[in-house]
Chain A
């Protein structure tokens, strides 16, 4: 108790008081004065002012307390975070881990049969964002390359299916690999000019690239039917069987589940491979990794290509799910959203991205009642996340290796594991 009390000094209180006064002045015009234009009267709502003052004071105190507590913790302290404790527990109890995985699997499998079509549909969207997030995670989280035009590859996949289907009647299953392939090619095309760019400059060029693709789709009417988009895109077929809307929704849901499993499987393996390590080294220090023999050119191209691959695939599924696409689905906002999934979830961490996508996509859907405040809450969450958990909800923990204790290193390896 006394530990907590030491944070609340008079100095801190004064600061909070100033903060609350500042908030009262700031919100005075909108929260206190209310002009009634019909009766030409001004209503002074002083009660609001007091409420804001007290609210701001408490919020400020809480904020300072949390910030102080965070700063008190030394980065090298042995105190284990909740995340590490959970992970340790899972490693010690492999049975419980398997049980949990089976439970999650069973829940996901039963989900469309237990809930409405609407629920299934938004869960499918969330699953799509998981795959998109994992794809972008290769570029941003592992490769350390800030990419703001990711939605462009998503658009390439969606338009590949829509156009190939419109002109040649190609089916979903044929277009799935073609869409992914074309997106990969686009990824490589983008990677070549940005090889020499880093950080802010890279972000600007990728942002531009994303907008270029969208504007082309919007204006090249002969090719992409412009802003009116393409309608009546068929849903995925199942050996030529015709499906009712509900069956089709469930079917797409399971296609997405399979995609998520496939993506996690591949990304997990990439992450701890020779190639994945090269990407991470490139993220950590480009010059040093080059001096250690890593071909930066090749690494950058592979991250962009593999990142684009997943976006292309999801794009095809997106077109099949909504049966209608137009360029408005692939704006900068879309890229930012996917980036938020990666950053909030935890850069470089697969589980983090999964959680991030679920939170960012499902929460707004279930909070429709507060939809007016959605952007406000979104902003607040981002700020709070960046201050208190800059590594994301689930930060990336590197794989640990065990070594057979030899005579002279017996003690050290015990410690190291």
Chain B
């Protein structure tokens, strides 16, 4: 079976700087995969290439959601990539602050809806049914992530941890095959991190969504990921199971520096 996400020789250059250098990368269906590396290693750039924010300089990105044959998604706009089944969250929270929590998730459902201008004005039965359904669906997603008590709050008024969860809820609204989480545990305390840990595993098990996460919190990475990729200076320096990564001399060197130096 084809991997759900695969990149071949992915390279992204900004002028003379090569932020992502020839990365071959693979996420299989149903896996939780982590991408780690020191600050400035090119993790977020990699994310942005995959989700269409940047068009990669060279190389290929293929996705194969729901056991379909792989499709090349280089250079597609972010909204098209999302339609193909990739959803993401952001490192620095980017919620729609002045919309309610429910509406944030409803925006996530946007691509699953059809009604247009005339539907909005004349409100035929199809549109009304669709609206009812999206409200209920969004509410269900919020309930699943334990956010239902905030349903009518403005997103900006939520506590930090809840905002992080809302970002995930919003991404889940798009019904992705693969969820990309950019530092979901940033700024969370150990208790919140633990809850997040359980939540991510639950999303994978219950909703059958594969997960790719960038994370600095090693306890989270080591406890939930099945496979870890390590990048440094844009290059992939190691890949393997958490135990293998812990022993890998290149990884230790990247994080702690050379012993001889």
Q: Which residues of A contact B (CB under 8 A)?
A: 76, 266, 269-270, 273-278, 280-281, 284-285, 287-296, 302, 306, 396, 398-401, 403, 408-409, 412-413, 415-417
Contacts and interface: CB of A to CB of B under 8 A. Distances in A.
A278 B134 CA distance: 14
Interface stretch (B12-20, B96-104, B189-197, B245-253): B96-104
B210 to A, nearest CB: 18
A284 B97 contact: yes
B110 A285 contact: no
Contacts of A302: 117
Contacts of A417: 152
B151 interface: yes
A284 B107 CA distance: 12
Interface string B147-169: 01111111001000000000000
A416 B106 contact: no
B59 interface: no
Interface string B87-114: 1101000111111101100111011010
A289 B103 CA distance: 12
A414 B143 CA distance: 14
B22 to A, nearest CB: 26
Interface centre among A266, A292, A295, A403 (most CB of B within 10 A): A292
Contacts of B78: 287, 290-291
Dominant SS among interface residues on chain A: helix
A401 B148 contact: no
A275 B120 CA distance: 8
B94 A285 contact: yes
B96 A284 contact: yes
A412 B148 contact: yes
Given A281-B99, A293-B110, A417-B152, 4 more contacts: A277-B99, A284-B96, A290-B77, A293-B79
Contact of B117 (A275, A289, A401, A416): A275
Interface of B: 51, 53, 77-79, 82-83, 87-88, 90, 94-100, 102-103, 106-108, 110-111, 113, 115-117, 119-121, 123, 127, 130-131, 134-135, 139, 143, 148-154, 157, 170-171, 173-174
20 contacts: A274-B110, A274-B119, A274-B131, A275-B120, A278-B107, A280-B96, A285-B96, A287-B53, A288-B95, A292-B110, A292-B111, A292-B170, A293-B82, A294-B79, A398-B154, A401-B139, A401-B152, A413-B151, A416-B148, A416-B150
Contacts of B106: 277
B152 A292 contact: no
- Closest A-B pairs by Cβ, 4 of them: A273-B120, A293-B111, A284-B96, A412-B149
B151 A403 contact: yes
Given A76-B157, A284-B97, A403-B139, A291 B88 contact: yes
A266 B119 CA distance: 11
B146 to A, nearest CB: 10
Contacts of B120: 269-270, 273-276
A401 B135 contact: yes
B174 A293 contact: yes
Contact of A284 (B99, B131, B134): B99
Contact of B82 (A278, A285, A292): A292
Given A273-B119, A284-B98, A292-B174, A409 B148 contact: yes
A281 B107 contact: yes
A403 B150 CA distance: 12
Contacts of A289: 96, 107
A389 to B, nearest CB: 15
Contacts of A287: 53, 78, 94
Contacts of B95: 284-285, 288
Nearest to A412: B149
Contacts of A416: 148-153
Nearest to B90: A288
A295 B96 contact: no
Contact of A398 (B90, B103, B171): B103
Given A269-B123, A270-B120, A413-B148, A278 B110 contact: yes
